[in-house]
């Protein structure tokens, strides 16, 4: 009843002020709507701390989605993911808000290609490099569309990117050097992939095998801890054996080119 009353008062106030059809700022409205559950679970101090970071992540995502990453002040995936991580590290109840709230849609859009989003939303039970990792259900996130990039090198940016999608299909992108002309161009190849457990444990790590142009490359899916404890986890594809691709990351350094 208390939650309902808060929303009714807010609605009546809006009518008295002749609000536009768009209504109040969704981030502000969502903060009120979610306060009953999150506030009870986390307490006022932790909830307010997390809420401040959550609002930043949403605002930065909106800016990125509207103007593009290189034309926004805080639109980098790294920055958005770190701020969202600080929110859920302060108040874990905000994970469900990120996962389901319509007002968090800009954040989900900005981080959609990154496995990091699934950790922040609580769908993937891996938040740190520790013995508590639980990779159960990882395969399904690849079918909804994930990307992993190599770290940027020089003016040309990332030299390898793999985009995973449903049906075991993928796209293998890479920087190609033409020895005759000296040109460096971005090329893509159709690829396929499979995901297998590296142990008999369902919760154990995964091995991702990617095949492109007849070449087979294997990667171990893992997670690295960030430099700051409360920052976002960094998921990686670590090349194994004869793989020639570099280490790939779930968050990419953007606008380096």
CA angle 87, 96, 131 (to 5 degrees): 75
Across the chain, mean pLDDT equals 84
Domain borders along the chain are 2-111, 138-249
User: What's this model's pTM, rounded to 2 decimal places?
Assistant: 0.82
The DSSP bridge partners found for residue 240 are 218
Going by the DSSP 8-state scheme, the letter that residue 51 receives in this structure is: H
- pLDDT above 90 coverage of the chain, percent: 60
Q: Which residue has the higher pLDDT, 118 or 71?
A: 118
* Backbone angles phi and psi of 68, in degrees to 5: 90, 150
Out of 26-30, 103-107, 154-158, 226-230, which region has the weakest mean confidence (pLDDT)? 26-30
pLDDT digits (tens, 9 = 90+) for 42-66: 988 999 999 999 999 999 999 999 9
Count Cβ atoms below 10 Å from residue 148 Cβ, excluding itself. Answer: 27
pLDDT of residue 3 exceeding 80, the answer is: no
pLDDT confidence of 255, banded at 50, 70, 90?
low
Q: What is the 3-state secondary structure (H, E, C) of 208-231?
A: EEEEECCEEEEEEEEEECCCCCCC
Q: Can you give the pLDDT at residue 69?
A: 81
pLDDT digits (tens, 9 = 90+) for 138-175: 999 999 999 999 988 777 778 899 999 999 999 999 99
Quote the CA–CA distance of 113 and 252 in Å, as a whole number: 10
Q: Can you give the pLDDT at residue 35?
A: 54
pLDDT confidence of 6, banded at 50, 70, 90?
very low
pLDDT digits (tens, 9 = 90+) for 83-137: 999 999 999 999 999 999 998 999 999 999 999 999 999 999 999 998 889 999 9
CB-neighbour burial class of residue 120 (10 A; exposed 0-12, middle 13-18, buried 19+): buried
For 209-233, b/e burial (b = at least 16 CB within 10 A) is ebbbeeeebbbebbbeebeeeebbb
């Amino acid at each position: 009843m208390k939650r309902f009353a808060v929303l009714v008062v807010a609605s009546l106030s809006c009518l008295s002020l002749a609000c536009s059809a768009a209504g109040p700022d969704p981030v502000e409205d969502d903060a009120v709507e979610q306060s009953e559950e999150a506030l009870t679970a986390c307490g006022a101090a932790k909830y307010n701390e997390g809420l401040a970071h959550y609002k930043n992540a949403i605002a930065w995502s909106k800016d990125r989605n509207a103007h593009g990453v290189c034309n926004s002040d805080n639109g980098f995936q790294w920055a958005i993911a770190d701020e969202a991580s600080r929110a859920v590290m302060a108040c874990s109840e905000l994970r469900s808000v990120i996962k389901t709230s319509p007002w968090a849609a800009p954040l989900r859009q900005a981080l959609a290609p990154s496995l990091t989003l699934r950790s922040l939303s609580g769908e993937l039970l891996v938040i740190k490099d520790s013995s508590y990792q639980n990779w159960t259900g990882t395969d399904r996130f690849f079918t909804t569309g994930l990307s992993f990039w190599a770290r940027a090198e020089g003016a040309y940016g990332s030299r390898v990117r793999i985009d995973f999608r449903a049906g075991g299909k993928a796209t293998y992108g890479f920087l190609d050097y033409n020895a005759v002309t000296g040109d460096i161009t971005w090329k893509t190849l159709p690829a396929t992939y499979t995901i297998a457990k590296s142990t008999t444990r369902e919760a154990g790590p995964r091995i991702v095998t990617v095949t492109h142009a007849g070449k087979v490359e294997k990667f171990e899916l893992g997670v690295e801890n960030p430099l700051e404890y409360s920052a976002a986890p960094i998921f990686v594809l670590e090349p194994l054996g004869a793989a020639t691709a570099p280490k790939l990351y779930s968050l990419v350094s953007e606008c380096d080119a």
